[in-house]
Structure 1
Amino acid sequence: MKLGFDVVELGSADHPEIGEKAPDFTRPLVTDEYWEDASLSELADDGPVVLVFHPMDGDFPATYMWQEIRDRGWDEYDADIVGLSISTPYEHSRFLEEWDVEQFRLFSDPQNGVAKRYGIDHELDGMNGISEPRPAVFVIDQDRVIHSGWVATDWPEFPPYDDIENAIDDL
């Protein structure tokens, strides 16, 4: 089959593993109406968190991932489902509204520092010095311990949604 894009191998990543504590961070957490600084530890204090790293808003994998998450009803889980990408708060607000995923919130990290701390950043082809997170999902408990993790090894690659749902159910 001829695809309209190249599949790119992303290589290995040095990401946190199951059983390790998820690195904490504070960034703007965006809804379709406003944003405010929030930390992963604050979210985890209220219950489990599913942290979804995704490419910049407008990139088809980001759109596909969030529509799949919406269609699978992840907002019904007893966990806080939040995303993170390099897109700005303004872009996130538009993205949430445009793609009808307003029930979720997205962290804005334009410098990609969180992905670097998680060991999942990758340079964008042809854009010297510009990186974004590779797609990844971490299921994190109230102590910020990772119970499930998936990190893409190719672009584009999508999460094993069923496996992640099972991990959320097991919390």
Structure 2
Amino acid sequence: MVDFDVVELDATDHPEVGEEAPDFTRPLVDSEVWADVSLSSLLEDGPLVLLFHPMDGAFPATYIWNEVRDRGWTDEIDIVGLSISTPYEHKRLIEERGIDARLFSDPQNGVAETYDIVNDLDGMAGVAEPRPAAFVIDEEGTVQYAWVAEEWPDFPEYDAIEAAIDEL
């Protein structure tokens, strides 16, 4: 069993259902390559789920991606992750975990700042990452579902995400 303290996180002003998802451009990593890609360009191909997760190697990231894989979401909709991990770390995570999704690399945590979901890591001065969060975004860029962790660790409400995917 993993031993850790549960940390209550501050309230956020993250994008809510019915609001436009903030656009951004970051390196998007798949199992072979990476390139700078904007969120809006991905939405040209249809709706997607944007999953913010802790840095690669942290146990919550593994749990989140195992759940996505086990539910088979990538067969239904584009699932895109985002964390502070580098493209090299993302490629390793994709390979080791058999992730069938692409991951945005945001080492400076600027996207989490834009989405107001920054998590300053306890015991790591100057290190911040996005808190776990999930946004189901339609092809127009409108948030159809939003969940943001209120404590660390906290995990997405997978059944609610699945229901939102089904409603698209």
TM-score with structure 2 setting the length: 0.97
Structure 1: which 5+ runs fail to align?
A: none
2:21 aligned partner, one-letter code: A
User: Which runs of at least 4 in structure 1 moved beyond 3 Å after TM superposition?
Assistant: none
Aligned to 2:50: 51
Aligned to 1:136: 133
Partners of 2:89 and 2:151 lie apart in 1 by: 25
Structure 2: which 5+ runs fail to align?
A: none
Aligned to 1:5: 4
2:4 aligned partner, one-letter code: F
Flag the 1:10–1:73 CA change in 2: closer, same or farther, 3 A: same
TM-score with structure 1 setting the length: 0.96
Aligned to 1:61: 60
Partners of 1:32 and 1:92 lie apart in 2 by: 9
1:5-44 superposed matches below 5 A: 5-44=4-43
2:147 aligned partner, one-letter code: W
Deviation at 1:11, TM superposition (A): 1.9
Partners of 1:43 and 1:31 lie apart in 2 by: 14
Partners of 2:10 and 2:73 lie apart in 1 by: 29
Aligned to 1:106: 103
Partners of 1:54 and 1:91 lie apart in 2 by: 13
Aligned to 1:149: 146
Q: Is residue 58 of structure 2 the alignment partner of residue 92 of structure 1?
A: no
Partners of 2:125 and 2:13 lie apart in 1 by: 21
Aligned identity (percent) is: 65
Aligned to 1:124: 121
1:166 aligned partner, one-letter code: A
CA deviation vs aligned residue, 1:52-87 (integer Å, no higher than 9, x gap):
00000000000000011000101111x210000000
Corresponding residue SS for 2:112: helix
2:92 aligned partner, one-letter code: R
Partners of 1:32 and 1:45 lie apart in 2 by: 22
